[in-house]
Amino acid sequence: MLQQLNSGVLYLICGAIILFVAAVCVVFLVRAYRAGKALGMDEAVLKKTITASASFSVLPSIGILLGVIALSGSLGVPWPWLRLSVIGALHYETQVAEAAAEQVGMTSLDASQMTAGGFSTIALLMSICIMWGMVLSIFFNRKYAGRQTVQRSGPGFGDQAMDAMFIGLVSVYLGSYIGEFVSGKGIFHFTGSWTSLAVAAIAAAAMAVFQYFIEHKKQKWLESFTIAGSMLIGMIGAVLIGR
């Protein structure tokens, strides 16, 4: 079965969809860049945005590639490649695939139990489960994003609200690392895994060093690479802790 799931035809089907989405990204990128120029934005800022976003995305993308590798053992390579390139999310895909496998009668997501019917049903379910953000965008993006623009057009609270929302998001993850360490193996046992917490702390310390060089040593060029650099240092820390 796995041989069929890795066949050229599947690569062709999945590759064509990915190619379409890549073309969509290029269209959005080029249009936005041109509109930015037409609006009188500094081209250096636009270029810096591209550089910073590209460098930022490399490490998480390698993490996502690992998701493809993890799922390829049971679903072949082309389908996970498609799912994680388009619409999918690393933390959702494995869960949905596992749950879908159980629903089609498999005891677990396992290549030895996979049938053609099982695969196509799992694939359909994976698509249906995670398509809703796109569906909502089709119907409501214009109204909802437009309303935000109107609301935020004055001297307002918009920037603080977005920063606060993001701080809320970050706090949940940091809180979960603290919770995992303190109560992961029993409430207040302090014997849970501390790797995530330590990695977050190392990355934060690395970011502090980068900021020091940017703000006090005038190393402005570092700005585009601070997140990627801090993440890399945090991840190296994880390897050292894991040894």
Partner 1 sequence: MDQTEVFKKYESKTHHIGRITSIITLVMLIGAPFLIGSYLGALPDLGAAAKAFLAVGLVWLVSSIVEFLIYTPMLGSGGGYLAFITGNLINMKIPCAMTARELAGTKVGTPENEIISTISIATSSLVTIVILAVGVLLLVPLRPVLTSEALQPAFSNVVPALFGAMAYKYYRKNIRVALVPLVVMSLLFILVPSLISQTSIMIIPSGAIAILLAYLLWRKKK
Task: Identify residues 90-109 at the interface with partner 1 (CB under 8 A).
Answer: 90-92, 96, 99-100, 103-105
Stretch 115-174 residues interacting with partner 1 (CB under 8 A): 115-117, 119-121, 123-125, 127-138, 140-142, 144-146, 148-149, 151-153, 156-174
As a whole number of angstroms, the distance between CA 58 and CA 75 comes to: 25
Q: How many residues bind partner 1 (CB under 8 A)?
A: 158
Is residue 219 at the binding interface for partner 1, with CB under 8 A as the rule?
A: no
- Report in angstroms how near the CB of residue 33 gets to partner 1 at its nearest: 6
Cα separation of the two ends of the chain: 37
Closer CB to partner 1, residue 217 or residue 243? 243
Is residue 89 at the binding interface for partner 1, with CB under 8 A as the rule?
A: yes
Q: Phi and psi (nearest 5°) for 218? A: 55, 35
Stretch 47-86 residues interacting with partner 1 (CB under 8 A): 48-50, 52-54, 56-66, 68-69, 72, 77, 79, 81-82, 84-86
Query: Residues 6 or more apart from 161 whose CB is under 8 A from it?
Result: none
- Report in angstroms how near the CB of residue 202 gets to partner 1 at its nearest: 7
Neighbours of 119 (CB within 10 A): 22
Closer CB to partner 1, residue 74 or residue 206? 206
DSSP assignments along 131-164, one per residue: -HHHHHHHHHHHHHHHHHHHHTSSS-SHHHHHHH
As a whole number of angstroms, the distance between CA 28 and CA 7 comes to: 32
